[in-house]
Amino acid sequence: MAILNKIRQRGLFLIIIIALALFSFVIGDLFRNPEALTGKSQNVVATINGKDISREDFMQKVEVAQRQLGPSGTNTQAMNRVWEQEVRQAVLETQFEELGMSVEKDQMRDLLRTNLATSPEFQNEAGLFDENKLNEYIANLKETSVVAYKQWIDYENSIGVNAIQQDYFNMVKAGMTGTLAEGKLEHSLESETVDIKYVQIPYTSISDSTVSVSKSEISSYIKKHKKQYEVDATRDLRYVEFREVATVEDENNIKEDLNNLLNDKVVYNEVSKNNDTVKGFARVTNNKAFVNSNSDIKFEDRFVFKSDLPTAVADTIFNTNVGGVYGPYKDENFFKLTKVVAVVQMPDSVKARHILIPYVGAASAQPDVTQTEIEAKKTADSLATILKNNNSKFGEFVTTYSSDQGSVANGGSYDYFTYNTMVAEFRDYVFQNNVGDIDVVKTVYGFHIIEVEGQKNKQRAIKVATIAREIEPSEASINQVFRNASNFEIGLEKGDFDVLAKEKDLAVRPVNGVKMLDENIPGLGNQRALVRWAFEDGTEVGDYKRFNLNGGYAIVQVTAVNAEGLMNTEQASVTALPAIRKEKKAKLIKDRISATTIEDVASAESQTVKTALAINMKNPTISGAGKEGIVVGTAFGLKEGETSKLIEGDKGVYMIQVTKRTPAPELDNYQGFANQVGNAKVSNVNTKLYNALKDASEIEDNRANTVQ
């Protein structure tokens, strides 16, 4: 009771304490989740110039893009395509709204008329666009299908947006003209020239090893050139692979299994309680059944020429007698046994004509086909009987009876085609019979009355039966790979990644600069789950994880976490170090030179005086030195006969003297050059306008937080 009384006495104090604790919890959660402070939802993929793109709408468009890309396209590729489309639309719509640009009803009708003018469903009897038919079509969509009507609205929106974009770009282009003053300047840049003599002290005259650059100097350089060194958040990784591949022992076992199939074997028959002899591949007569029971690749009932056989064994197999078996031999990722089962003389190409009589249920049979299979066979047999006696009626019968519209115009004829062009039954008849033969052949398309019209290049062909076994790791090998990966992972708990990999004779593969929305890891392929893990909160430098691959495992370790912002000194040193060295070398060269004439500088630096003629500003190139914009610009700022001070160029320190100035000739009219300037500006609208607007826009990309 005493304790309860104390609690009651301090009730207000306890309420305040609890309230503060709850307040602290809420505030802490807000700071852990800054989106809560700004009201941003996980359902917002991006905010562009103040406009949100919802996750639901974005992902619906990604699904459509995924279908358009087909099975080879990845989800990330589809997402990136939609992202670029959405950003472009949002950036340009900002401009349209500021200018009050929109597509009105009359303009939309004109656009639809233009886009649909050639669509038969919207044309009248005269072949002209009929707006009434369009109205009926739209009304029907609205009444019958919500989905189809929405797709139509999306279509209207897309052509409307395209029209506004075209108008906007045309408006900007209309303002891109070249004035006469700009034309005169363009003419001057191209036609005014100077001749110079110069001396160059190349930066390569000072060894890189003699110029030290500190980390602080690199850091200062990065800060001075921030835009050049801004980077997205990235992760550096390294990994080792454990691939499930067949061992030498696995391959030998596969070959041994194939060899065991060659010869007869005795097996005990549980039914008869006697030993039965089962024929081996060398003596079996039903080759198709034997192959299909023992091979990873089914039997192919066709003839092949020598060129169709694997190159390495073609001669041996092609010259094998009927009944002979060759192998086991390796062909790509298979071990094979090949038996020659038949030999014929066969043309390499055939010309034939046919009449196709379809029946109800045959492949590609049209709705107007009414004959049953029995009736179609009877019709075909009757026509064949007539044609065998008088094939002059073939063309007439083609027109009257054949349903193969691909050949009717040619009298039913297909010009010379190779062996595997037609379906098997058609192929076998025309390649294995003689010119002039006529008969009825059934295929999935119906009954064909076929006449062999011509054959070329008869030669030896063989039919083979091949037992193929894929070269793949055994269960024991797969289990060993799993144990090896597990042992490596366990070893990392106390060991160093590089040291452990070296002990296990594993190649360590580094992957640097992985971005948050990447999906492909060099050497591993699509590994979106791996990238997500690397960017998860809590994943730190040194952390590692095992990932399943298609046929193995990869153990991946994070080696660096690079925040968004400026590169660190190590990353930036690739470009910053040479630039800083060049600055230091320029200072060293300038500090040691006291001479004031080109000849004296050349003598002191063991260089030669060179000349360059007819230099212009349009193409600031110096013969013998290359492109040197600052040096050429300095030359045009000097009077004839005047010598410059030391100039820091791109490839060295220069001193120049202008020996001749040739002014641009005066023209009566500079309109041609003005037009040239205007055309260049118009061209830049297509290539640079959108990117300039995009750079000026406020784009908040939340894909990494809202899309997996």
Question: Do 258 and 157 share a structural domain?
Answer: no
Residue 483 in any domain: the answer is yes
Distance CA 269, CA 280 (A): 17
- Closest C-alpha to 92, from 167, 174, 40, 152: 167
Q: Are strands 610-615 and 51-54 parallel, antiparallel or unpaired?
A: unpaired
Distance CA 313, CA 330 (A): 9
pLDDT of residue 482: 96
Any idea what the CATH number is for the domain that residue 434 is in? 3.10.50.40
Question: Do 161 and 54 share a structural domain?
Answer: yes
Question: Do 397 and 361 share a structural domain?
Answer: yes
Question: Do 507 and 491 share a structural domain?
Answer: yes
- Structural domain including 580 reads 193-230+570-662
Task: Find out whether 376 and 358 touch, Cβ atoms under 8 Å.
Answer: yes
pLDDT of residue 246: 96
Distance CA 140, CA 136 (A): 6
Total domains in the chain come to: 6
Q: Which of 109-126 are b and which e, b meaning 16 or more Cβ less than 10 Å from the residue's Cβ?
A: eebbeeebeeeeebeeee
Distance CA 689, CA 696 (A): 11
The distance of Cα 216 from the centroid of its chain, to the nearest Å, equals: 41
pLDDT of residue 389: 93
Distance CA 607, CA 623 (A): 16
pLDDT of residue 40: 52
Q: Which of 74-97 are b and which e, b meaning 16 or more Cβ less than 10 Å from the residue's Cβ?
A: ebbbbbbbbbeebbbbbbbbbbbe
- Closest C-alpha to 531, from 399, 397, 708: 708
Residue 690 in any domain: the answer is no
Question: Do 321 and 253 share a structural domain?
Answer: yes
Residue 308 in any domain: the answer is yes
Does residue 457 come out as left (phi exceeding 0), alpha (psi in the -120 to 50 range) or beta?
Answer: left
pLDDT of residue 37: 42
pLDDT of residue 7: 37
Any idea what the CATH number is for the domain that residue 111 is in? 1.10.4030
Distance CA 542, CA 557 (A): 6
Question: Do 439 and 359 share a structural domain?
Answer: yes
Which of 323, 344, 365 lies at the terminal end of a domain, its last residue? 344
Any idea what the CATH number is for the domain that residue 584 is in? 3.10.50
Beta bridge partners of 466: 338
pLDDT of residue 8: 43
Question: Do 446 and 373 share a structural domain?
Answer: yes
Exposure on the CB side of residue 405, measured as CA atoms within 13 A: 3
Distance CA 359, CA 401 (A): 12
Residue 463 in any domain: the answer is no
Taking the chain (708 residues) in runs of 10, the rounded mean pLDDT of each run is 42 46 44 45 83 87 85 82 88 89 85 86 83 88 86 86 89 91 94 97 95 94 92 93 96 95 83 81 94 95 93 95 95 96 95 96 90 96 95 93 91 94 94 95 96 95 96 96 96 94 96 90 91 93 95 95 87 93 96 95 96 95 94 96 96 97 94 93 90 90 71
Residue 670 in any domain: the answer is no
Which of 563, 578, 608 lies at the terminal end of a domain, its last residue? 563
Residue 188 in any domain: the answer is no
Question: Do 54 and 167 share a structural domain?
Answer: yes
pLDDT of residue 222: 94
Residue 25 in any domain: the answer is yes
Residue 684 in any domain: the answer is no
